[in-house]
Amino acid sequence: MCDKKEFSTFALWAFDDDFWSEWFYFLSFRVFFKKINV
């Protein structure tokens, strides 16, 4: 396991990248539409 500082640095780098941010929003919208379709 990595420490919190190392993980937060990685998280900031990952979500700062366009590919990962778009993938994150894509998953968020999928979850959102699944909830309203139930």
DSSP code of residue 38: -
**22: domain range?**
4-37
Angle in degrees, CA 11, 26, 21, rounded to 5:
30
The helix-helix angle for 4-16 and 18-37 (nearest 10°) equals 90
Please tell me the distance from the alpha carbon of residue 1 to that of residue 33, in angstroms, as a whole number.
34
Could you count the other beta carbons within 10 Å of the beta carbon of residue 23? 13
Per-residue model confidence as pLDDT tens digits over 9-28: 766 666 666 767 778 888 88
Confidence of residue 38 (pLDDT cuts 50, 70, 90): low
0.75 cut: is pTM over it? no
Question: Cα(first)–Cα(last) distance of the chain, in Å?
Answer: 37
More confidently predicted of 12 and 30: 30
Q: How many domains does the chain have?
A: 1
